[in-house]
Amino acid sequence: MNKFFFYTLLTISVFLSPEYSAQYQPKNINKQELEKARQWVDKTYNSLSQDEKLGQLFITALYTNKDQNHINFVRQLVNKEKIGGIILMQDNAAQEIDLVNEFQESSRVPLLIGMDAEWGLYQRIAAAHKFPWAITLGAIQDDKLVYEMASKIASDAKRMGVNWDFAPVVDVNTNPSNPIIGNRSFGSDVQNVIRKGLAYSNGLQDNGVLAAIKHFPGHGDTDKDSHLDLPVVKHNIDRLNNTELAPFKALMDKNVGGVMVAHLYVPALESKSGVPASVSYSIITDLLKKKFGYKGLIITDALNMGAVASRYKAGELDKKAFAAGNDIMLFSQGVSDGKKLIQQAIDNGEIPQSRIEESVKKILLTKYYLGLPNFKKISTNNINSDLNNESHAQLSEKLYANALTLLKNDQKLLPLQKNETVYYVPLEEAPYKTFASELGNNINLIVKKANEISSIPSGAKVIVGFHKDNSTAYKPYKISAASKAVLSKLSGNTKVILDVFGSPYALMDVDIQNIPAVLVSYENNEYSQKAAAKAYTGQTKINGRLPVLINNQLKYGDGQDL
């Protein structure tokens, strides 16, 4: 065989069998196991029909709190359309486990089971434990604690049969008015977002659950909710490289297995007007895959979101997303039509068959690395207590304690001394009694309502608590005019300690010039309140730092140790 003929055959072979890999690999995997993985992938891929290969590209939503018709519809997608995975939405854990067991046992190829669990499975399972939002984690100085939280989430996820957590968010939140990221971001500083994003991703993946950094190419400076409409990110390429894209570029070669692409229009990256990133060949293939060299799973954000669902028909949207370079279409609203249209595009030469091989083998390899071929039936016994017990509570309190940020302590009002008399005025709309009860165990705490502040003696120490609604990550953070008026009146003749049990952005339009002590506790729940109460009396240290730029007076990194 002459050299020319040999190299021609080699070139043809490479073209017909595109090289596949997965960005994620289990740590310390040896060559023998790598070869076994390749053999399983090749054998499985070659055994699939074209229709079954197309099915691997889709993940659909399962709401077990909906009626039986919905569950039967998902069952049909698993059994007939041979979809590649499920994303678990709202309901109780036991019912979801029963269906995961059923679908895994009936599926010829094991399913990716995903969940949005940024702050734990509580995001979808009401009985599970809620961990801190990312903005709270952004204040913590020890990134090992973020790793510890993500490891616990991974343990809970595996207990449910979930093998892919669509987290962490690595958007740099530079817009305080962002309606959809906000509390879900580690903050406004690029390097802090990178450190926290890596710790979170490693915590998941070191414990056998895939991570997905999101929302590429960066959702942090938007003023629209992409669930409703298409946001536009208008920055030039230099700004995008330095801020929005920077965390993705830094984390892509760190073994992170997935990238989720946002429904955003970014004119500097996409020349065609109004084309969302999630269906942009320029952004996904040219930038993410070719320029950045990312080899992990690329998945769309949910395709039922208004930013794209209002612009394209369901099956057409799936085809466009795949043609742009995505491996997986998440929350597909038209699996059957999407498969047909993708196949038509292959038949007419619009999409090469090699794209199917590339994506499906990448999906299969990731499934193998996650151990899915060895799926074992999951028990529902004690599931609620397994997902929410004392170990969760202790970790949460530790996280909130380490996030607590002291911005001012001008008159050394803190720490409080045992048995000293302090007044407490809770404001805003949410519960506060855990804080009052915990703190009242160590000092003489006198609770006063807003309409009772005239009875507080001049010169007294007064804690003012802004207790914001903690029920979702999307609640408004602004402080009411009435609460600001109470704060202003108290600051005139008492020694005020202001504590924000909510987003630090709440301080944007609060005048703290005459407030001698200011803290941010970030969230309003029993664990943040317990953590704050202990820190007030010196039982735990305060060493958090502000994770966001608020205004000219309150900047990223501000904070004092106590």
Sign of the alpha-carbon torsion through 79, 83, 85, 91: negative
Supply the pLDDT for residue 369. Answer: 97
Helix axes 314-324, 335-347, angle to 10 degrees: 50
Task: Sketch out the chain's domains with CATH numbers.
Answer: 31-55+119-376 (3.20.20.300), 404-537 (3.40.50.1700)
pTM tops 0.85: yes
Please state whether beta strands 112-115 and 421-427 pair in parallel, antiparallel, or not at all (unpaired).
unpaired
- How far is the C-alpha of 353 from the C-alpha of 361, rounded, in Å? 12
Residues 65, 82: contact at Cβ < 8 Å?
no
Question: Residue 308's pLDDT is what?
Answer: 95
Contact 463, 499 (CB under 8 A): yes
- Rounded Cα distance between 240 and 549, Å, is 18
Note down pLDDT in tens along the chain; length 562 residues: 443 333 333 333 333 345 677 889 998 899 999 999 999 999 999 999 999 999 999 999 999 999 999 999 999 999 999 999 999 999 899 999 999 999 999 999 999 999 999 999 999 999 999 999 999 999 999 999 999 999 999 999 999 999 999 999 999 999 999 999 999 999 999 999 999 999 999 999 999 999 999 999 999 999 888 898 999 999 999 999 999 999 999 999 899 999 999 999 999 999 999 999 999 999 999 999 999 999 999 999 999 999 999 999 999 999 999 999 999 999 999 999 999 999 999 999 999 999 999 999 999 999 999 999 999 999 999 999 999 999 999 999 999 999 999 999 999 999 999 999 999 999 999 999 999 999 999 999 999 999 999 999 999 999 999 999 999 999 999 999 999 999 999 999 999 999 999 999 999 999 999 999 999 999 999 999 999 999 999 999 999 999 999 999 999 999 999 9
Return the SS3 of 328: strand
User: Cα separations (Å) of 84 from 121, 298, 303, 363, 550?
Assistant: 22, 14, 16, 8, 43
The dihedral through the CA atoms of 374, 375, 381, 382 has a sign that is positive
3-state secondary structure of 116: coil
Tell the burial category of 291 from Cβ atoms under 10 Å away from its Cβ (0-12, 13-18, 19+): exposed
CA-to-CA distance for 79 and 214, rounded, in angstroms?
30
How far apart CA 163 and CA 281 sit, in angstroms, is 28
**What's the confidence (pLDDT) of residue 23?**
87
Confirm if 132 and 401 have CB atoms less than 8 A apart.
no
**How far apart, in whole angstroms, are the C-alpha atoms of residue 250 and residue 253?**
7
pLDDT for res 19: 64
Q: How far apart are CA 232 and CA 275, in angstroms?
A: 10
Residue 224: its pLDDT value, please? 85
pLDDT at site 228: 87
